[in-house]
A and B are shown apart, each in its own frame.
Chain A
Amino acid sequence: MSNNSPFLRQPASVQVVMLKVLAALLPGIAVYIHFFGWAVVVQIAIASVTALVAETVMLAIRKKALKPFLTDGSALVTAWLVALTLPPIAPWWLAVLGVLIAIVVAKHLYGGLGQNPFNPAMVAFCALIVAYPQLMSQWPAVGFTDFGAQMQAVFGHRDLDAVVMATPLDALRTALHTPEARATVSGVLGSHATFGNIGGRGWEWIALGYLLGGLWLVQQRVITWHIPAAFLGTLGLASLLASLASPDQYAGPAFHVLTGGAMLGAFFIATDPVSGSTTPRGKLIFAAGLALLTWIIRVFGAYPDGIAFATLLMNICVPLIDMSTQPAVFGHKGKQP
């Protein structure tokens, strides 16, 4: 403890910040469970336990104090984000591997909390989807909540082909990328029994759950409005313009904003202050770039969702963005009365 001024401190802590983030995730998780069953909770549990074990081991190896870091909640936030981006019926070791990559490689090798230039959960997601594209895109059908069957998929070897299907984003991309299919957006999204027209039936409710939690975080001043607003705005604008130009080829803003990881990304992933931009203007640029890349990768790329890659790509740009968007310092703003 320092014996220098200031001697007064506001009661605030990293722990409170992290716990608020976890709490804000709950509404989205609840809806997620409603549509995809309790396997979601199992995945979160696997990830959380792995994260805490990995964090403990790494802290011990690095000879850091255990208590303040284990209780700060940052490892849990990472674990939950990894778990929420995995398919609920992914095998257990996928979650374990993902969390290990996130905690050990993306976080602790860079010095632990606060030092990682890349979002750990997104590093994990990208590594997994590159290594196990098949497993990472096996989502159960919306409404398939048979816990026993899910657990067999997670812990056993039961093939769930019968109930597995692509996410709306994935289905749309695959159809549109196959010229022979002559698919149209309305054809794919409208014809499919389980998909609604907004974000894919079920998905839009999960997105609204995350939106609710996210808005609470803004209200609690844990995050600022800049990143979610710029992200959702840019994503909406890009998809709107494209869908206006060619409604058959490009899905509209409602679909893009409410499907996949868009809402989770806007409020919980892109707003990670450690790996994201920190200046007000930088946040806007960061989020806008993130949204644009997400849309490009979703529409033209080879992967089902673009959030994770876009996040890493923008993480790479953060030092330069921050450097070039430093706010003017008191007295250096140019105009004086």
Chain B
Amino acid sequence: MLEALLVMALGSVILGGALGYASVKFRVEGDPLVEKIDAILPQTQCGQCGFPGCKPYAEAIAKGEADINCCPPGGEDGIHKLADLLGREFKPLSGEHGVEKPKSTAVIDENVCIGCTLCIQACPVDAIVGAAKQMHTVVASQCTGCELCLAPCPVNCIDMVPIPETIDNWKWKYPVFAVQKAA
């Protein structure tokens, strides 16, 4: 019995020592995975996921604290990409964080705007220009459609307008699989 204890103790000490050495020698600083996750996220900084911005959400995913299906602007596509990167199963967008909407930009009704600057402070990507007591305008090309400017507006003069289809952003559609229909 004593021998058994000795053998196991000896083994533990040696192996424990080796592990301790390795954990010092191979210490990892930082987490490059966060960058990769962040690169997939749509950068709307909308906070619908429950985290203050895309990067914090990325950090939470990397740590395993958040699920991969909490980002409505990223949509199913984004979830697929995250699932791929992390080797997890795909799961549909969780409803509690919102639904996938068509890409939109904010448009300020310039006749109603009172120039309060609240939306300018809310915009995470500085896509709204204007000064105090002067009407504001959204720079459409920079707007991510995060909707964060809607709530602060005291006069409700901001609308989300879906981006219209033009020759420039028109896409070829997925071909219909004709065989599914009775032929």
Contacts and interface: CB of A to CB of B under 8 A. Distances in A.
Whether both chains belong to one complex is answered with yes
Interface of A: 1-2, 64-68
A315 B182 CA distance: 33
A66 B182 CA distance: 8
15 contacts: A1-B178, A2-B175, A2-B176, A64-B179, A64-B180, A65-B179, A65-B180, A65-B181, A65-B182, A65-B183, A66-B182, A67-B182, A67-B183, A68-B179, A68-B183
A67 B178 CA distance: 13
B146 to A, nearest CB: 36
Contacts of B183: 65, 67-68
A67 B183 CA distance: 7
Q: What does DSSP make chain B's interface, helix, strand, loop or mixed?
A: loop
Interface string B153-182: 000000000000000000000011011111
A64 to B, nearest CB: 7
Interface residues on B, range: under 10
Contacts of A66: 182
Contacts of B178: 1
Nearest to B178: A1
Nearest to B176: A2
Interface of B: 175-176, 178-183
Contacts of B179: 64-65, 68
Nearest to B175: A2
Contacts of A1: 178
Most interface-central of A1, A64, A65, A67 (chain B CB within 10 A) = A65
A11 to B, nearest CB: 17
Nearest to B182: A65
Contacts of B176: 2
A68 B182 CA distance: 9
A68 B176 CA distance: 17
Given A64-B179, A67-B182, 4 more contacts: A2-B176, A65-B179, A65-B181, A65-B183
B180 to A, nearest CB: 7
Contacts of A65: 179-183
A66 B183 CA distance: 8
A67 B179 CA distance: 10
Contacts of B182: 65-67
A61 to B, nearest CB: 15
A1 B183 CA distance: 11
Nearest to B173: A4
A68 B179 CA distance: 8
Contacts of A2: 175-176
B154 to A, nearest CB: 51
B53 to A, nearest CB: 39
A2 B176 CA distance: 8
A55 to B, nearest CB: 15
B126 to A, nearest CB: 42
A66 B178 CA distance: 13
